[in-house]
Structure 1
Protein backbone atom coordinates (compact mmCIF):
# COMPACT_ATOMS: atom_id res chain seq x y z
CA UNK A 1 0.00 0.00 0.00
CA UNK A 2 1.27 3.43 -0.95
CA UNK A 3 0.26 6.45 1.13
CA UNK A 4 1.39 10.01 0.48
CA UNK A 5 0.28 12.84 2.77
CA UNK A 6 0.14 16.49 1.76
CA UNK A 7 -0.08 19.14 4.47
CA UNK A 8 1.02 19.29 8.09
CA UNK A 9 -0.38 16.98 10.73
CA UNK A 10 -2.40 13.77 10.61
CA UNK A 11 -4.80 13.64 7.64
CA UNK A 12 -8.54 13.80 8.20
CA UNK A 13 -9.41 13.32 4.51
CA UNK A 14 -8.24 10.68 2.02
CA UNK A 15 -8.55 9.84 -1.67
CA UNK A 16 -8.27 6.09 -2.26
CA UNK A 17 -7.68 4.32 -5.57
CA UNK A 18 -6.58 0.82 -6.47
CA UNK A 19 -8.80 -1.13 -4.10
CA UNK A 20 -9.25 -3.33 -7.17
CA UNK A 21 -6.14 -3.73 -9.28
CA UNK A 22 -8.06 -3.95 -12.56
CA UNK A 23 -9.76 -0.56 -12.08
CA UNK A 24 -7.05 1.95 -13.06
CA UNK A 25 -9.07 5.17 -12.96
CA UNK A 26 -8.64 5.72 -9.22
CA UNK A 27 -4.90 5.13 -9.34
CA UNK A 28 -4.58 7.53 -12.27
CA UNK A 29 -6.61 10.15 -10.38
CA UNK A 30 -4.34 9.83 -7.33
CA UNK A 31 -1.21 10.10 -9.47
CA UNK A 32 -2.63 13.08 -11.38
CA UNK A 33 -3.46 14.97 -8.19
CA UNK A 34 -0.07 14.24 -6.61
CA UNK A 35 1.61 15.62 -9.74
CA UNK A 36 -0.58 18.74 -9.74
CA UNK A 37 1.32 20.69 -7.05
CA UNK A 38 -1.83 21.13 -4.98
CA UNK A 39 -1.99 23.91 -2.42
CA UNK A 40 -3.79 22.25 0.50
CA UNK A 41 -5.56 23.98 3.36
CA UNK A 42 -5.75 20.85 5.54
CA UNK A 43 -3.79 17.58 5.48
CA UNK A 44 -4.93 14.89 3.06
CA UNK A 45 -3.79 11.34 2.33
CA UNK A 46 -3.56 9.89 -1.17
CA UNK A 47 -3.70 6.10 -1.19
CA UNK A 48 -3.03 3.40 -3.79
CA UNK A 49 -4.43 0.47 -1.87
CA UNK A 50 -3.51 -2.81 -3.57
CA UNK A 51 -0.26 -1.99 -5.35
CA UNK A 52 0.59 -5.61 -6.12
CA UNK A 53 -2.76 -6.21 -7.82
CA UNK A 54 -2.42 -2.91 -9.71
CA UNK A 55 1.05 -3.90 -10.93
CA UNK A 56 -0.25 -7.28 -12.11
CA UNK A 57 -3.39 -5.80 -13.64
CA UNK A 58 -5.59 -8.22 -11.70
CA UNK A 59 -8.57 -7.57 -9.46
CA UNK A 60 -6.89 -9.02 -6.37
CA UNK A 61 -4.06 -11.33 -5.34
CA UNK A 62 -5.74 -13.71 -2.88
CA UNK A 63 -9.18 -12.32 -2.05
CA UNK A 64 -11.32 -9.30 -2.91
CA UNK A 65 -9.97 -6.40 -0.84
CA UNK A 66 -13.41 -4.78 -0.95
CA UNK A 67 -14.85 -7.79 0.89
CA UNK A 68 -12.07 -8.05 3.51
CA UNK A 69 -13.23 -5.38 6.00
CA UNK A 70 -15.59 -5.70 8.98
CA UNK A 71 -19.13 -5.73 7.56
CA UNK A 72 -21.60 -3.11 8.71
CA UNK A 73 -22.98 -4.06 12.12
CA UNK A 74 -20.00 -6.24 13.10
CA UNK A 75 -17.96 -5.18 16.14
CA UNK A 76 -14.66 -3.97 14.71
CA UNK A 77 -12.78 -5.00 17.85
CA UNK A 78 -14.01 -8.57 17.46
CA UNK A 79 -13.50 -8.86 13.71
CA UNK A 80 -10.68 -11.15 12.59
CA UNK A 81 -8.98 -9.88 9.44
CA UNK A 82 -7.89 -12.79 7.26
CA UNK A 83 -4.24 -13.74 6.95
CA UNK A 84 -4.11 -13.10 3.20
CA UNK A 85 -2.46 -10.37 1.16
CA UNK A 86 -5.73 -8.44 1.02
CA UNK A 87 -6.68 -9.25 4.61
CA UNK A 88 -3.42 -7.73 5.84
CA UNK A 89 -3.95 -4.72 3.57
CA UNK A 90 -7.47 -4.26 4.94
CA UNK A 91 -6.09 -4.24 8.48
CA UNK A 92 -3.52 -1.57 7.57
CA UNK A 93 -6.07 0.53 5.69
CA UNK A 94 -8.50 0.34 8.59
CA UNK A 95 -5.82 1.39 11.08
CA UNK A 96 -4.75 4.36 8.93
CA UNK A 97 -8.12 5.55 7.62
CA UNK A 98 -10.75 4.75 10.26
CA UNK A 99 -10.76 8.40 11.36
CA UNK A 100 -10.57 9.92 7.85
CA UNK A 101 -13.41 10.79 5.52
CA UNK A 102 -12.38 8.98 2.35
CA UNK A 103 -13.33 9.04 -1.30
CA UNK A 104 -13.00 5.48 -2.64
CA UNK A 105 -12.82 5.44 -6.44
CA UNK A 106 -14.04 2.44 -8.43
CA UNK A 107 -15.22 1.75 -11.98
CA UNK A 108 -17.90 -0.51 -13.39
CA UNK A 109 -18.79 -2.78 -16.29
CA UNK A 110 -22.37 -1.58 -16.28
CA UNK A 111 -22.90 2.18 -16.40
CA UNK A 112 -21.06 4.94 -18.29
CA UNK A 113 -21.60 7.85 -15.90
CA UNK A 114 -20.23 8.43 -12.39
CA UNK A 115 -22.50 7.87 -9.41
CA UNK A 116 -21.99 7.85 -5.65
CA UNK A 117 -22.48 4.97 -3.20
CA UNK A 118 -22.95 5.33 0.56
CA UNK A 119 -23.61 3.08 3.54
CA UNK A 120 -25.55 4.37 6.56
CA UNK A 121 -24.57 7.93 5.57
CA UNK A 122 -24.15 10.72 8.10
CA UNK A 123 -24.71 14.44 7.47
CA UNK A 124 -21.12 15.03 6.33
CA UNK A 125 -21.25 12.24 3.76
CA UNK A 126 -24.59 13.44 2.39
CA UNK A 127 -23.21 16.97 2.14
CA UNK A 128 -20.23 15.64 0.16
CA UNK A 129 -22.56 13.67 -2.14
CA UNK A 130 -24.52 16.86 -2.84
CA UNK A 131 -21.29 18.56 -3.94
CA UNK A 132 -19.87 15.88 -6.24
CA UNK A 133 -20.36 16.01 -10.04
CA UNK A 134 -22.67 12.99 -10.06
CA UNK A 135 -26.43 12.83 -10.62
CA UNK A 136 -27.22 9.68 -8.66
CA UNK A 137 -26.57 8.37 -5.15
CA UNK A 138 -27.05 4.72 -4.16
CA UNK A 139 -27.61 3.84 -0.51
CA UNK A 140 -26.34 0.26 -0.18
CA UNK A 141 -26.80 -0.09 3.58
CA UNK A 142 -29.01 -3.17 3.09
CA UNK A 143 -26.23 -5.39 1.72
CA UNK A 144 -23.38 -5.56 4.26
CA UNK A 145 -20.55 -7.63 2.83
CA UNK A 146 -17.25 -6.27 4.13
CA UNK A 147 -16.60 -3.30 1.87
CA UNK A 148 -14.18 -0.50 2.78
CA UNK A 149 -17.00 2.02 3.16
CA UNK A 150 -18.69 -0.19 5.76
CA UNK A 151 -15.64 -0.09 8.04
CA UNK A 152 -14.38 3.45 7.45
CA UNK A 153 -16.31 6.68 6.84
CA UNK A 154 -16.34 7.01 3.07
CA UNK A 155 -18.18 7.96 -0.06
CA UNK A 156 -17.59 5.54 -2.92
CA UNK A 157 -17.82 6.67 -6.53
CA UNK A 158 -18.24 4.39 -9.52
CA UNK A 159 -16.51 6.54 -12.13
CA UNK A 160 -17.69 4.90 -15.37
CA UNK A 161 -16.64 2.07 -17.63
CA UNK A 162 -13.66 0.12 -16.37
CA UNK A 163 -10.46 0.89 -18.27
CA UNK A 164 -11.88 3.84 -20.19
CA UNK A 165 -10.33 7.29 -20.49
CA UNK A 166 -13.72 8.75 -19.61
CA UNK A 167 -13.61 6.95 -16.24
CA UNK A 168 -10.18 8.43 -15.54
CA UNK A 169 -11.31 11.93 -16.49
CA UNK A 170 -14.42 11.61 -14.33
CA UNK A 171 -12.41 10.19 -11.43
CA UNK A 172 -10.11 13.23 -11.50
CA UNK A 173 -13.07 15.63 -11.63
CA UNK A 174 -14.83 13.84 -8.77
CA UNK A 175 -11.66 13.75 -6.65
CA UNK A 176 -11.07 17.49 -7.13
CA UNK A 177 -14.68 18.22 -6.19
CA UNK A 178 -14.32 15.99 -3.12
CA UNK A 179 -11.20 17.87 -2.01
CA UNK A 180 -13.01 21.18 -2.48
CA UNK A 181 -16.12 19.92 -0.67
CA UNK A 182 -14.03 18.84 2.32
CA UNK A 183 -12.05 22.09 2.47
CA UNK A 184 -8.73 20.59 1.38
CA UNK A 185 -8.37 22.85 -1.67
CA UNK A 186 -9.99 25.97 -3.00
CA UNK A 187 -12.24 25.40 -5.97
CA UNK A 188 -15.78 24.84 -7.11
CA UNK A 189 -17.84 22.15 -5.46
CA UNK A 190 -21.26 23.32 -6.56
CA UNK A 191 -24.07 21.56 -4.68
CA UNK A 192 -27.04 20.18 -6.57
CA UNK A 193 -29.97 17.79 -6.26
CA UNK A 194 -29.22 14.08 -6.64
CA UNK A 195 -31.61 11.20 -7.23
CA UNK A 196 -31.40 8.74 -4.35
CA UNK A 197 -31.83 4.98 -4.81
CA UNK A 198 -31.96 2.53 -1.92
CA UNK A 199 -30.77 -1.01 -2.60
CA UNK A 200 -33.30 -3.64 -1.58
CA UNK A 201 -31.46 -6.87 -2.35
CA UNK A 202 -29.18 -8.56 -4.88
CA UNK A 203 -30.58 -10.47 -7.87
CA UNK A 204 -29.20 -14.02 -8.15
CA UNK A 205 -28.09 -15.43 -11.49
CA UNK A 206 -28.30 -19.19 -11.89
CA UNK A 207 -25.58 -21.10 -13.66
CA UNK A 208 -25.90 -21.14 -17.42
CA UNK A 209 -24.08 -20.85 -20.68
CA UNK A 210 -25.45 -17.51 -21.85
CA UNK A 211 -26.97 -14.43 -20.26
CA UNK A 212 -28.91 -11.46 -21.62
CA UNK A 213 -30.15 -8.26 -19.99
CA UNK A 214 -33.08 -6.32 -21.50
CA UNK A 215 -33.36 -3.26 -19.25
CA UNK A 216 -31.23 -0.26 -18.30
CA UNK A 217 -29.80 0.67 -14.95
CA UNK A 218 -31.73 3.21 -12.87
CA UNK A 219 -34.82 2.85 -15.10
CA UNK A 220 -38.04 1.43 -13.67
CA UNK A 221 -38.82 -2.23 -14.32
CA UNK A 222 -42.56 -2.95 -13.83
CA UNK A 223 -43.75 -6.10 -12.08
CA UNK A 224 -44.16 -8.94 -14.56
CA UNK A 225 -41.68 -7.59 -17.10
CA UNK A 226 -38.84 -9.81 -18.32
CA UNK A 227 -35.55 -8.10 -17.54
CA UNK A 228 -33.01 -10.84 -18.27
CA UNK A 229 -32.58 -14.34 -19.65
CA UNK A 230 -30.48 -17.39 -18.78
CA UNK A 231 -29.86 -19.72 -21.72
CA UNK A 232 -32.94 -18.29 -23.41
CA UNK A 233 -35.23 -18.63 -20.37
CA UNK A 234 -36.73 -15.29 -19.40
CA UNK A 235 -36.31 -13.88 -15.90
CA UNK A 236 -39.36 -11.86 -14.78
CA UNK A 237 -39.67 -9.19 -12.12
CA UNK A 238 -42.14 -10.28 -9.44
CA UNK A 239 -42.45 -6.68 -8.26
CA UNK A 240 -41.41 -3.26 -9.49
CA UNK A 241 -37.77 -2.31 -9.03
CA UNK A 242 -35.00 -0.10 -10.32
CA UNK A 243 -31.88 -2.01 -11.42
CA UNK A 244 -28.51 -0.92 -10.09
CA UNK A 245 -25.29 -2.30 -11.61
CA UNK A 246 -27.36 -4.81 -13.56
CA UNK A 247 -25.32 -6.77 -16.07
CA UNK A 248 -25.10 -10.06 -17.88
CA UNK A 249 -21.48 -10.50 -16.78
CA UNK A 250 -20.56 -8.15 -13.90
CA UNK A 251 -20.78 -10.98 -11.33
CA UNK A 252 -20.45 -14.71 -11.80
CA UNK A 253 -23.58 -15.60 -9.81
CA UNK A 254 -25.60 -12.37 -9.68
CA UNK A 255 -27.29 -10.12 -12.22
CA UNK A 256 -27.11 -7.02 -10.05
CA UNK A 257 -29.04 -5.12 -7.42
CA UNK A 258 -32.74 -4.51 -7.03
CA UNK A 259 -33.43 -1.00 -5.66
CA UNK A 260 -36.20 1.45 -4.89
CA UNK A 261 -36.29 5.05 -6.04
CA UNK A 262 -36.10 6.56 -2.54
CA UNK A 263 -36.12 10.31 -3.09
CA UNK A 264 -33.75 13.22 -3.56
CA UNK A 265 -30.65 14.50 -1.82
CA UNK A 266 -31.01 18.27 -1.63
CA UNK A 267 -28.20 20.77 -2.35
CA UNK A 268 -27.94 21.22 1.43
CA UNK A 269 -27.32 17.49 1.95
CA UNK A 270 -30.78 16.64 3.26
CA UNK A 271 -33.04 13.84 2.04
CA UNK A 272 -36.54 14.36 0.67
CA UNK A 273 -38.21 10.95 0.57
CA UNK A 274 -40.35 10.05 -2.44
CA UNK A 275 -44.04 9.39 -1.99
CA UNK A 276 -44.34 6.11 -3.88
CA UNK A 277 -47.33 5.68 -6.15
CA UNK A 278 -47.61 2.02 -7.22
CA UNK A 279 -47.38 1.67 -10.97
CA UNK A 280 -45.94 5.16 -11.50
CA UNK A 281 -43.88 5.15 -14.66
CA UNK A 282 -40.75 6.96 -15.62
CA UNK A 283 -37.01 6.89 -15.83
CA UNK A 284 -34.83 8.11 -13.01
CA UNK A 285 -31.61 8.74 -14.83
CA UNK A 286 -30.48 10.29 -18.06
CA UNK A 287 -28.98 7.42 -20.04
CA UNK A 288 -26.31 7.77 -22.68
CA UNK A 289 -26.54 6.17 -26.11
CA UNK A 290 -24.16 3.48 -24.93
CA UNK A 291 -25.73 0.26 -23.63
CA UNK A 292 -25.43 -0.50 -19.97
CA UNK A 293 -25.02 -3.47 -17.66
CA UNK A 294 -23.73 -4.73 -13.60
CA UNK A 295 -23.12 -6.04 -9.61
CA UNK A 296 -24.01 -7.98 -6.01
CA UNK A 297 -25.04 -11.33 -3.54
CA UNK A 298 -28.36 -13.11 -2.06
CA UNK A 299 -31.96 -13.73 -3.05
CA UNK A 300 -34.05 -11.50 -5.30
CA UNK A 301 -37.67 -11.27 -6.35
CA UNK A 302 -37.32 -13.00 -9.71
CA UNK A 303 -38.85 -15.86 -11.65
CA UNK A 304 -37.21 -17.81 -14.46
CA UNK A 305 -39.69 -19.04 -17.01
CA UNK A 306 -40.27 -19.48 -20.73
CA UNK A 307 -38.05 -18.89 -23.73
CA UNK A 308 -36.44 -15.60 -24.65
CA UNK A 309 -38.37 -13.60 -27.20
CA UNK A 310 -37.00 -11.43 -29.95
CA UNK A 311 -36.60 -8.51 -27.56
CA UNK A 312 -33.20 -7.01 -28.15
CA UNK A 313 -30.89 -7.51 -25.18
CA UNK A 314 -28.88 -4.66 -23.77
CA UNK A 315 -25.39 -5.17 -25.10
CA UNK A 316 -22.26 -5.48 -23.02
CA UNK A 317 -19.33 -3.15 -23.23
CA UNK A 318 -17.08 -5.04 -25.70
CA UNK A 319 -13.95 -3.97 -23.82
CA UNK A 320 -15.04 -5.60 -20.54
CA UNK A 321 -13.97 -9.19 -19.82
CA UNK A 322 -16.02 -11.52 -17.69
CA UNK A 323 -15.49 -10.61 -14.06
CA UNK A 324 -16.60 -11.04 -10.49
CA UNK A 325 -18.06 -7.70 -9.46
CA UNK A 326 -18.16 -3.98 -10.09
CA UNK A 327 -17.82 -2.55 -6.60
Structure 2
Protein backbone atom coordinates (compact mmCIF):
# COMPACT_ATOMS: atom_id res chain seq x y z
CA UNK A 1 0.00 0.00 0.00
CA UNK A 2 1.44 3.35 -1.02
CA UNK A 3 2.00 6.04 1.59
CA UNK A 4 -0.93 8.40 0.94
CA UNK A 5 -3.33 5.51 0.45
CA UNK A 6 -2.35 4.26 3.89
CA UNK A 7 -2.87 7.70 5.41
CA UNK A 8 -6.40 7.82 4.07
CA UNK A 9 -7.21 4.43 5.57
CA UNK A 10 -5.64 5.45 8.90
CA UNK A 11 -8.20 8.12 9.67
CA UNK A 12 -10.86 5.69 10.89
CA UNK A 13 -8.47 4.10 13.38
CA UNK A 14 -7.87 7.48 15.00
CA UNK A 15 -11.48 8.41 15.61
CA UNK A 16 -12.02 10.04 12.24
CA UNK A 17 -9.02 12.38 12.21
CA UNK A 18 -6.38 11.82 9.60
CA UNK A 19 -3.01 10.50 10.67
CA UNK A 20 -1.14 13.23 8.82
CA UNK A 21 -2.82 16.50 8.03
CA UNK A 22 -5.61 16.58 5.50
CA UNK A 23 -4.75 13.79 3.12
CA UNK A 24 -4.09 15.14 -0.33
CA UNK A 25 -1.61 17.32 -2.14
CA UNK A 26 -2.52 20.39 -0.06
CA UNK A 27 -1.44 18.74 3.19
CA UNK A 28 2.27 18.91 2.50
CA UNK A 29 5.00 21.27 1.45
CA UNK A 30 7.66 19.78 -0.78
CA UNK A 31 11.06 21.00 -1.92
CA UNK A 32 13.64 19.52 -4.25
CA UNK A 33 17.09 18.98 -2.79
CA UNK A 34 20.35 19.55 -4.61
CA UNK A 35 21.23 16.64 -6.85
CA UNK A 36 17.68 15.33 -7.00
CA UNK A 37 15.31 13.87 -4.48
CA UNK A 38 12.63 15.63 -2.49
CA UNK A 39 11.82 16.73 1.05
CA UNK A 40 8.18 16.75 2.16
CA UNK A 41 6.83 18.23 5.39
CA UNK A 42 3.47 17.16 6.82
CA UNK A 43 1.79 17.21 10.22
CA UNK A 44 1.09 14.27 12.48
CA UNK A 45 -2.34 14.54 14.16
CA UNK A 46 -2.96 17.98 12.69
CA UNK A 47 -5.49 20.06 14.59
CA UNK A 48 -4.85 18.33 17.91
CA UNK A 49 -2.67 19.15 20.89
CA UNK A 50 -0.24 16.50 19.62
CA UNK A 51 0.27 18.08 16.19
CA UNK A 52 3.90 17.58 15.17
CA UNK A 53 5.96 17.92 12.02
CA UNK A 54 6.90 14.87 9.97
CA UNK A 55 9.69 15.26 7.40
CA UNK A 56 10.06 12.72 4.61
CA UNK A 57 13.28 12.77 2.59
CA UNK A 58 13.36 10.87 -0.71
CA UNK A 59 16.98 10.66 -1.81
CA UNK A 60 17.78 10.63 -5.55
CA UNK A 61 18.91 7.00 -5.53
CA UNK A 62 17.02 3.90 -4.43
CA UNK A 63 17.85 2.42 -1.06
CA UNK A 64 16.40 1.30 2.26
CA UNK A 65 13.86 3.21 4.34
CA UNK A 66 14.52 4.50 7.86
CA UNK A 67 12.25 5.99 10.48
CA UNK A 68 13.90 8.40 12.92
CA UNK A 69 12.05 9.52 16.06
CA UNK A 70 13.10 12.14 18.60
CA UNK A 71 11.42 13.86 21.51
CA UNK A 72 9.60 10.94 23.10
CA UNK A 73 10.36 12.65 26.40
CA UNK A 74 10.06 16.41 26.64
CA UNK A 75 12.98 16.85 29.04
CA UNK A 76 15.50 15.13 26.73
CA UNK A 77 16.68 17.90 24.41
CA UNK A 78 19.61 16.16 22.75
CA UNK A 79 17.24 13.54 21.32
CA UNK A 80 14.90 15.95 19.58
CA UNK A 81 17.73 18.30 18.62
CA UNK A 82 19.57 15.45 16.92
CA UNK A 83 16.41 14.25 15.15
CA UNK A 84 15.82 17.80 13.90
CA UNK A 85 19.42 17.80 12.69
CA UNK A 86 18.84 14.60 10.72
CA UNK A 87 15.72 16.16 9.16
CA UNK A 88 17.88 18.95 7.71
CA UNK A 89 20.41 16.65 6.01
CA UNK A 90 20.58 15.56 2.40
CA UNK A 91 21.10 11.91 1.50
CA UNK A 92 22.46 10.09 -1.51
CA UNK A 93 20.19 7.04 -1.30
CA UNK A 94 17.13 5.75 0.48
CA UNK A 95 14.11 7.29 2.16
CA UNK A 96 13.79 8.74 5.66
CA UNK A 97 10.63 9.46 7.61
CA UNK A 98 11.56 11.69 10.55
CA UNK A 99 9.42 12.70 13.53
CA UNK A 100 11.75 15.10 15.34
CA UNK A 101 9.44 16.15 18.20
CA UNK A 102 7.15 13.21 18.86
CA UNK A 103 5.82 14.40 22.22
CA UNK A 104 5.18 18.08 21.62
CA UNK A 105 3.08 18.74 24.76
CA UNK A 106 5.87 17.36 26.96
CA UNK A 107 8.55 19.24 25.00
CA UNK A 108 6.69 22.51 25.41
CA UNK A 109 6.47 21.89 29.16
CA UNK A 110 9.99 20.53 29.51
CA UNK A 111 8.65 17.40 31.21
CA UNK A 112 9.23 13.70 30.70
CA UNK A 113 5.50 12.90 30.59
CA UNK A 114 2.46 14.30 28.83
CA UNK A 115 -1.05 14.13 30.30
CA UNK A 116 -1.21 10.41 29.52
CA UNK A 117 2.01 9.48 31.29
CA UNK A 118 5.25 8.21 29.81
CA UNK A 119 4.80 8.05 26.03
CA UNK A 120 7.62 5.54 25.64
CA UNK A 121 5.82 3.05 27.86
CA UNK A 122 2.73 2.91 25.62
CA UNK A 123 3.99 0.47 22.95
CA UNK A 124 3.29 -3.08 24.18
CA UNK A 125 4.44 -5.84 21.86
CA UNK A 126 1.63 -7.88 20.37
CA UNK A 127 -1.05 -5.35 21.29
CA UNK A 128 -2.30 -2.00 20.09
CA UNK A 129 -0.41 1.06 21.29
CA UNK A 130 -2.18 2.49 24.32
CA UNK A 131 -2.78 6.20 23.60
CA UNK A 132 -3.89 8.26 20.62
CA UNK A 133 -0.39 9.70 20.16
CA UNK A 134 1.33 6.32 20.55
CA UNK A 135 -1.07 4.77 18.03
CA UNK A 136 -0.38 7.58 15.55
CA UNK A 137 3.38 7.14 15.94
CA UNK A 138 3.13 3.39 15.52
CA UNK A 139 0.97 3.75 12.42
CA UNK A 140 3.54 6.18 11.04
CA UNK A 141 6.20 3.52 11.55
CA UNK A 142 4.11 0.76 9.99
CA UNK A 143 3.05 2.75 6.93
CA UNK A 144 6.67 3.74 6.26
CA UNK A 145 7.49 0.02 5.93
CA UNK A 146 11.02 0.70 7.24
CA UNK A 147 14.19 -1.32 7.11
CA UNK A 148 15.48 0.30 10.31
CA UNK A 149 14.12 2.50 13.13
CA UNK A 150 16.12 4.96 15.28
CA UNK A 151 14.73 6.38 18.54
CA UNK A 152 16.89 9.24 19.84
CA UNK A 153 16.91 10.22 23.53
CA UNK A 154 18.80 12.02 26.29
CA UNK A 155 19.77 10.32 29.53
CA UNK A 156 21.24 10.91 32.94
CA UNK A 157 24.32 9.64 34.71
CA UNK A 158 26.89 7.09 33.61
CA UNK A 159 25.97 3.66 32.25
CA UNK A 160 26.06 0.96 34.96
CA UNK A 161 27.43 3.47 37.45
CA UNK A 162 24.58 5.73 38.51
CA UNK A 163 21.44 3.93 39.65
CA UNK A 164 18.27 4.43 37.60
CA UNK A 165 20.29 5.99 34.77
CA UNK A 166 20.98 4.48 31.38
CA UNK A 167 23.94 6.79 30.82
CA UNK A 168 25.57 7.07 27.42
CA UNK A 169 24.66 3.97 25.46
CA UNK A 170 23.22 2.48 22.28
CA UNK A 171 20.58 -0.23 22.68
CA UNK A 172 20.07 -2.40 19.57
CA UNK A 173 17.24 -4.77 18.82
CA UNK A 174 18.11 -8.46 18.77
CA UNK A 175 17.57 -8.51 15.00
CA UNK A 176 20.74 -8.72 12.90
CA UNK A 177 22.65 -6.68 11.93
CA UNK A 178 21.63 -4.27 14.69
CA UNK A 179 24.00 -5.57 17.41
CA UNK A 180 27.06 -5.33 15.15
CA UNK A 181 26.07 -1.97 13.69
CA UNK A 182 25.47 -0.58 17.19
CA UNK A 183 29.02 -1.49 18.13
CA UNK A 184 30.33 0.23 14.99
CA UNK A 185 28.47 3.41 15.92
CA UNK A 186 29.74 3.23 19.49
CA UNK A 187 33.34 2.78 18.33
CA UNK A 188 33.01 5.63 15.84
CA UNK A 189 31.71 8.06 18.47
CA UNK A 190 34.26 7.03 21.08
CA UNK A 191 37.13 7.32 18.59
CA UNK A 192 36.12 10.63 17.00
CA UNK A 193 34.11 12.86 19.36
CA UNK A 194 34.38 11.65 22.96
CA UNK A 195 37.55 13.25 24.41
CA UNK A 196 40.18 10.98 25.94
CA UNK A 197 39.93 12.94 29.19
CA UNK A 198 36.22 12.01 29.56
CA UNK A 199 36.46 8.22 29.99
CA UNK A 200 33.12 8.02 31.81
CA UNK A 201 31.43 9.50 28.74
CA UNK A 202 32.47 6.73 26.40
CA UNK A 203 29.42 5.13 24.81
CA UNK A 204 28.58 1.61 25.87
CA UNK A 205 26.55 -1.18 24.30
CA UNK A 206 23.22 -1.41 26.15
CA UNK A 207 21.07 -4.46 26.59
CA UNK A 208 19.26 -5.89 23.57
CA UNK A 209 15.67 -4.92 22.73
CA UNK A 210 13.58 -8.06 22.30
CA UNK A 211 9.95 -7.03 22.69
CA UNK A 212 9.78 -7.68 26.42
CA UNK A 213 9.06 -4.05 27.44
CA UNK A 214 6.46 -1.54 26.20
CA UNK A 215 8.98 0.77 24.50
CA UNK A 216 8.94 1.77 20.84
CA UNK A 217 12.28 0.04 20.24
CA UNK A 218 11.04 -3.17 21.82
CA UNK A 219 7.87 -3.10 19.70
CA UNK A 220 10.01 -2.66 16.57
CA UNK A 221 11.79 -5.89 17.50
CA UNK A 222 8.79 -7.83 18.75
CA UNK A 223 6.14 -6.88 16.19
CA UNK A 224 8.16 -6.02 13.08
CA UNK A 225 11.31 -8.13 13.58
CA UNK A 226 13.45 -5.22 12.39
CA UNK A 227 16.82 -3.73 13.25
CA UNK A 228 16.30 -0.77 15.53
CA UNK A 229 18.17 1.33 18.07
CA UNK A 230 17.62 3.47 21.13
CA UNK A 231 20.38 6.07 21.34
CA UNK A 232 21.00 7.71 24.73
CA UNK A 233 23.43 10.61 25.25
CA UNK A 234 23.96 11.71 28.83
CA UNK A 235 23.36 15.11 30.43
CA UNK A 236 25.95 14.32 33.11
CA UNK A 237 28.57 17.11 32.91
CA UNK A 238 27.72 17.52 29.23
CA UNK A 239 25.85 20.39 27.64
CA UNK A 240 22.79 19.52 25.51
CA UNK A 241 24.31 20.99 22.34
CA UNK A 242 27.36 18.72 22.52
CA UNK A 243 25.20 15.73 23.43
CA UNK A 244 23.01 16.43 20.40
CA UNK A 245 26.08 16.58 18.14
CA UNK A 246 27.28 13.22 19.45
CA UNK A 247 23.81 11.73 19.02
CA UNK A 248 23.71 13.03 15.45
CA UNK A 249 27.04 11.33 14.70
CA UNK A 250 25.73 8.02 15.99
CA UNK A 251 22.55 8.41 13.93
CA UNK A 252 24.61 9.23 10.84
CA UNK A 253 26.82 6.19 11.41
CA UNK A 254 23.86 3.84 11.85
CA UNK A 255 22.09 5.17 8.77
CA UNK A 256 25.25 4.84 6.69
CA UNK A 257 25.72 1.26 7.84
CA UNK A 258 22.18 0.52 6.72
CA UNK A 259 22.87 1.92 3.24
CA UNK A 260 21.42 5.42 3.76
CA UNK A 261 24.47 7.68 3.44
CA UNK A 262 24.36 11.35 4.30
CA UNK A 263 25.63 13.56 1.51
CA UNK A 264 28.86 15.32 2.56
CA UNK A 265 28.60 13.63 5.94
CA UNK A 266 31.24 12.74 8.47
CA UNK A 267 30.93 8.97 8.10
CA UNK A 268 31.99 6.82 5.18
CA UNK A 269 29.44 4.35 3.87
CA UNK A 270 30.87 0.94 4.65
CA UNK A 271 28.11 -1.22 3.32
CA UNK A 272 24.69 -2.12 4.54
CA UNK A 273 21.82 -4.16 3.27
CA UNK A 274 19.71 -2.42 0.67
CA UNK A 275 17.03 -5.06 0.99
CA UNK A 276 15.53 -6.82 3.96
- TM-score (ref. length: structure 1): 0.49
With over 3 angstroms needed to count, the CA separation of the structure-2 counterparts of 1:189 and 1:27, relative to structure 1, is same
Q: Deviations over 1:190-236 (max 9, x none)?
A: 79xxxxxxxxxxxxxxxxxxxxxxxxxxxxxxxxxxxxxxxxxxxxx
Shift of 1:70: 1.4
1:110 is the counterpart of 2:157 = yes
Distance 2:66 2:210 in 1: 26
**What is residue 163 of structure 2 aligned with on the other side?**
none
Distance 2:254 2:124 in 1: 25
With over 3 angstroms needed to count, the CA separation of the structure-2 counterparts of 1:129 and 1:92, relative to structure 1, is same
With over 3 angstroms needed to count, the CA separation of the structure-2 counterparts of 1:80 and 1:175, relative to structure 1, is closer
**What is residue 39 of structure 1 aligned with on the other side?**
91
**What is residue 136 of structure 1 aligned with on the other side?**
204
Q: SS of the residue aligned with 2:83?
A: helix
With over 3 angstroms needed to count, the CA separation of the structure-2 counterparts of 1:142 and 1:130, relative to structure 1, is closer
- Do 2:63 and 2:93's aligned partners in 1 also have CA atoms closer than 8 Å? no
With over 3 angstroms needed to count, the CA separation of the structure-2 counterparts of 1:12 and 1:172, relative to structure 1, is same
**What is residue 250 of structure 2 aligned with on the other side?**
174
Q: Which runs of 4+ in 1 moved over 4 A?
A: 8-11, 140-143, 186-191
Out of 118, 132, 151, the position equivalent to 1:88 is 132
1:15 is the counterpart of 2:15 = no
Shift of 1:164: 2.6
In structure 2, stretches of 5+ residues that fail to align are 1-51, 160-166, 190-202, 221-225
Distance 1:10 1:176 in 2: 15
Shift of 1:94: 1.4
Distance 2:64 2:76 in 1: 25
With over 3 angstroms needed to count, the CA separation of the structure-2 counterparts of 1:180 and 1:80, relative to structure 1, is closer
Bigger radius of gyration: 1
In structure 1, stretches of 5+ residues that fail to align are 192-267, 269-327
With over 3 angstroms needed to count, the CA separation of the structure-2 counterparts of 1:161 and 1:138, relative to structure 1, is same
More helix by percentage = 2
Shift of 1:129: 0.8
**What is residue 237 of structure 1 aligned with on the other side?**
none
In the comparison of the two structures, how many residue pairs are matched? 182
Q: SS of the residue aligned with 1:116?
A: strand
Out of 26, 30, 55, the position equivalent to 1:4 is 55
More strand by percentage = 1
